[in-house]
């Protein structure tokens, strides 16, 4: 059973532009000859389905 504390703990682990997963994704795109890679920070949009696009 999940508690409110568990939900709050998950919310605190938000991604940042320095997150390892973001850097890994960008590196993978560049490795596959991706050009002009742009990361959009959508954190301030409450309705966004993702933190970054």
Name residue, tokens 């605190």: 12
- Contact present, 15 and 21 (Cβ < 8 Å): yes
CA dihedral 37, 43, 49, 50 (to 10 degrees): 40
Residue 26: how many other CB atoms lie within 10 Å: 16
21: containing domain: 1-53
What pLDDT shows up at residue 14? 62
What lies within 8 Å, CB to CB, of 15 at 6+ separation is 21, 22, 51, 52
Number of folded domains in the chain? 1
Model pTM?
A: 0.49
pLDDT one-digit tens code per residue, 1-51: 555 555 555 555 566 667 788 888 888 988 988 888 888 888 888 888 888
């Amino acid at each position: 059973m999940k508690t409110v504390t568990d939900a709050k703990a998950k919310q605190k682990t938000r991604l940042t532009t320095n997150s390892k997963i973001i850097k890994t994704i960008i590196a993978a795109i560049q490795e596959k000859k991706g050009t002009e890679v742009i990361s959009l920070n959508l954190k301030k949009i409450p309705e966004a389905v993702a933190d970054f696009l």
